[in-house]
Structure 1
Amino acid sequence: MAYELYYWDGLQGRGEFVRLALEEAQAPYVDIAREDDGTGDMLSIMDSKTDPYPPFAPPFLKDGDLIVPHVANILLYLGPKLGLAPLDDSRFVAHGLQLTIADMVTEVHDTHHPLSNDLYYEEQKDAAKVRATEFIDHRIPKFMRYFERVLKLNPHGDGHLVGDALTYVDLSMFQLIDGLFYAFPRATKRFGEHYPRLAALHDAVMARPNIAAYLASDRRLSHNESCIFRHYPELDKAAH
């Protein structure tokens, strides 16, 4: 049976980290929110009064009767099934890296919603400028220097974050970097100079046949200002 992916329609968002793994593996899946009344079906599952463990929020994955919530948890589940995760104990290293990516994604979101998710961006622009400046000056370098070091020190080499073959973590790193390029083009203008291994990983993932075909298809939604990675010129600045 096809996997069922539940996420908000019209957004890459956190769902895109799961889509990339499914697309790379050519696994059959249905993006439920893009189906007729798919969003209603998703909300019904979340609002279930009979399931003792309904998902709190999307994305979540349905595989038969099993519902798996949270990006890192979904990828921990899917990785071995799709051939995109180590089969030894280093799968937990991969999971830890994925959780660190999730931490950074949250910080990206908070650059444009630093005060409250219930306020519009326009209601918190001044705070967003402060938060985005701190993110560009301190948080992007802190995270990216770490991931660059992980790539450098991987004993297996080969340009992967874990082991000697592509994993879902490499795909997620591509998405994280791609989102940063969209949201902060000035701040990431010299990204390849500062983080050459990460830039090479991004380009290598983008060139993979299945990923390239996906990026060129109408299944790949565009970045937009309703998503996590938003380009507001007033929040972007050249990095030091």
Structure 2
Amino acid sequence: MTYRLYYWDGLQGRGEFVRLALEEAGADYIEVARGDEQDDLGTGAMIDVMNSKSEPYPPYAPPFLQDGDLIVSQTSNILFYLGPRLNLAPSVESLRYVANGLQLTIADMVTEAHDTHHPLASGMYYEEQKDAAKVRATDFIDHRIPKFMRYFERVLKQNPAGDTHMVGDTLTYVDLSMFQLIDALHYAFPRAMKHFGEHYPKLAALHDAVLKRPNVAAYLESDRRLPYNETCVFRHYPELDKDVR
């Protein structure tokens, strides 16, 4: 059965973590808000699901995934559901919870990245909070990126199955999500990330290995891969970026 992915049209955002898993697995899916089916109503169809009175547990916000009658919301939860079905989860059940924990930690960092340009209120324009954004972005670059990345580098290095994957000895959705996180940070903070490979060589190697996977590479070259832009979670504002060593 075809998976139906719901996320805002024109944005990578948190939906990109789910897209990468679906693309790597070669799964059959459509993006409802992008009008991938003639009988879909684009973004309106997504809003209808969120506002549904007949759906007992409507999703709060995208991304959410529909598999038959089941609707699964929240990025980490979606990947926890899809992982075993797409052969992108550890085969050992206990490690699936480890993978989920890492994915939730990635989600924490994604939220902090978003808050660099919207530190006061999501309902305000960036231009209304630029001074606060500069303070938040400086702290994010100086303290939060290193703290998160030192942790992820250590997890990768200490993996008992080897330092090729974040969890276990085969590719999982966590590896794909780590690729996306690093890639997006390179877009948002190119100056701050200039020496990323020197500080975190194993994470950089993981990023490059995922980049070379045939399905991922084909997806990145396709029109299904939406470009980064300044209405999304990861935004590049030069005034928020800075050089670090």
Settle same-fold status: TM greater than 0.5. yes
- 1:32 corresponds in structure 2 to 32
Deviations 1:122-179 (A, max 9, x none): 0000000000000000000000000000000000004100000000000000000000
- 1:3 corresponds in structure 2 to 3
- 2:100 corresponds in structure 1 to 95
Amino acid at match of 1:7: Y
- 1:184 corresponds in structure 2 to 189
Amino acid at match of 1:201: L
- 1:12 corresponds in structure 2 to 12
CA distance in 2, matches of 1:86, 1:146: 20
| Structure 1 residues not aligned, in runs of 5+ | none
Q: Is the 8 A contact 1:13 1:227 kept in 2?
A: yes
Residue aligned with 1:89, SS: helix
- 2:58 corresponds in structure 1 to 54
Task: Compute the TM-score of the two structures, normalised by the length of structure 2.
Answer: 0.97
Deviations 1:72-98 (A, max 9, x none): 000000000000001321100000000
Amino acid at match of 2:31: D
Residue aligned with 1:62, SS: strand
Aligned partner (choices 44, 47, 53) of residue 43 of structure 1: 47
Residue aligned with 2:116, SS: helix
Aligned partner (choices 177, 192, 199) of residue 172 of structure 1: 177
Asked whether 1:112 is paired with 2:112, we answer no
Residue aligned with 2:65, SS: strand
1:229 Cα shift? 0.6
When the two chains are superposed, the root-mean-square deviation of aligned CA atoms in Å is 0.7
- 1:204 corresponds in structure 2 to 209
- 1:66 corresponds in structure 2 to 70
Amino acid at match of 1:162: V
- 1:152 corresponds in structure 2 to 157
Q: Is the 8 A contact 1:158 1:165 kept in 2?
A: no
CA distance in 1, matches of 2:85, 2:58: 23
CA distance in 1, matches of 2:223, 2:205: 26
Residue aligned with 2:205, SS: helix
Aligned partner (choices 195, 202, 206) of residue 200 of structure 2: 195
Task: Compute the TM-score of the two structures, normalised by the length of structure 1.
Answer: 0.99
Residue aligned with 1:185, SS: coil
Q: Is the 8 A contact 1:182 1:231 kept in 2?
A: yes
Deviations 1:49-69 (A, max 9, x none): 122210000000000000000
Residue aligned with 1:178, SS: helix
- 1:83 corresponds in structure 2 to 87
Residue aligned with 2:30, SS: strand
CA distance in 1, matches of 2:163, 2:133: 38
Residue aligned with 1:79, SS: helix
Aligned residues: 240
Kindly, what percent of the aligned residue pairs are identical?
76
Amino acid at match of 2:162: G
Asked whether 1:236 is paired with 2:241, we answer yes
